[in-house]
Amino acid sequence: MNAKEALQHLLRSKRAQINPVEMGWPKRTGRGRRSRGLSQAQVALALNVSERRYADLERGEIAAPSAELLDLVAKVLRMKEQERATLYVYALGHEPPTPMDPMAGTNVAPAWEQAVGRVSGHPCYINDVAWNLLAANDEFLRMFPQTPGKDLGLPDRNLMRWMLLREEAREHHLVDWETSWARPLAAQLRTAVAAHPGNQDLQQLDEAVNDDPVAGPIYRDLSMAYVHPDGDVRPMRYAGAATSEVTEHQADRCCERHAPSQLGDVSVCAAQPFGSPGVRFILLLFDPHRQRAQLES
């Protein structure tokens, strides 16, 4: 089956699933058309296009239909997110640049939350399109600077806010903060704000980072383009490694306020759950500096 045939099958099957009465058409009586669902003429009327133009689209005869037309078709035919993505692929050869649902990227299927919680041995987490934490395992929580006498916990539910605006991230946890962390994070945030202009959490982050005296100048520097961290290697302190993987003399304190931690490099493995465009699954691989130096000596 080629793309034209697949497009025709998709649109015909979606038309057949919709009762015209639900869209305000009178119930059919007497003789005439008896096939299920909406007719091409009814779809064309809902789209405010000619019947011929919709028929051409359904046959795959429009070489490059506009995104506006495809999105309207998806809305009229009540397509789900994945069906809309398939419509784009069949009609244009690529997936849509943005999700149909304005809430896409803000949640993830419960199975993903369970999967993250069952990962052991490496820190991992899931954040939404605005860097709000949706799920994390215990190893991830142990990465943050630990205060003696306090229970293990997340310092800020929004990871971007913590990484760019919090003093303990800038001065203690994220090594070489300005170059290795702040510049790519700021560029990544700029891209997300542009891609999701209706997301209130991103708009608030945009304002807060822009107004910050330390992060603001970095954020307003447009010289770096950046979309995702997959494959990055960045220096940091890992508090959990100091208690579980290295001996006491291999760890040290960043300051008197925090428990001992281990200097090292973290490699970022990033992926996206297909059902949640914009959501990111992140797996972190930590390589302690001192442990590596001892192995090489």
Closest CA to 286 of 221, 234, 209, 229: 234
| Mean pLDDT in residue range 76-86 | 89
Higher pLDDT, 240 or 184: 184
Handedness of CA 244, 248, 251, 255 (dihedral sign): positive
Q: Is 220 helix (H, G, I), strand (E, B) or coil?
A: coil
Domain membership of residue 21 as a residue range = 3-92
Q: What DSSP designation does 158 have?
A: B
Share of the chain above pLDDT 70, in %: 88
Are 125 and 268 contained in the same domain? yes
CATH classification at residue 54: 1.10.260.40
In a domain, 97, yes or no: no
pLDDT band at 253 (very low <50, low <70, confident <90, very high): confident
| Mean pLDDT in residue range 131-146 | 90
In a domain, 98, yes or no: no
pLDDT digits (tens, 9 = 90+) for 160-199: 999 999 998 999 899 999 999 999 999 999 988 988 888 8
pLDDT band at 57 (very low <50, low <70, confident <90, very high): very high
pLDDT band at 30 (very low <50, low <70, confident <90, very high): low
Alpha carbon separation from 256 to 75, 93, 110, 152, 240 (Å, rounded): 58, 57, 40, 18, 17
Residue 115 has what pLDDT?
A: 93
Query: Cβ–Cβ contacts within 10 Å for residue 297, how many?
Result: 5
Residue 295 has what pLDDT?
A: 39
Report the C-alpha gap between 284 and 269 in whole angstroms.
6
In a domain, 249, yes or no: yes
CATH classification at residue 244: 3.30.450
The answer on pLDDT for 149 being more than 80 is no
Are 86 and 114 contained in the same domain? no
Q: How many domains does the chain have?
A: 2
In a domain, 105, yes or no: no
Burial of 244 (0-12, 13-18, 19+ CB in 10 A): exposed
| Mean pLDDT in residue range 65-78 | 94
Q: What is the pTM of this model?
A: 0.73
Q: What DSSP designation does 81 have?
A: H
In a domain, 37, yes or no: yes
Here the tokens at position 106 are: 């803000």
Residue 291 has what pLDDT?
A: 45
Are 174 and 262 contained in the same domain? yes
Residue 66 has what pLDDT?
A: 93
Q: Which of 62, 92, 122 is the last residue of a domain?
A: 92
Higher pLDDT, 102 or 289: 289
> Counting every residue, how long is the chain?
297
Are 205 and 233 contained in the same domain? yes
| Mean pLDDT in residue range 102-116 | 84
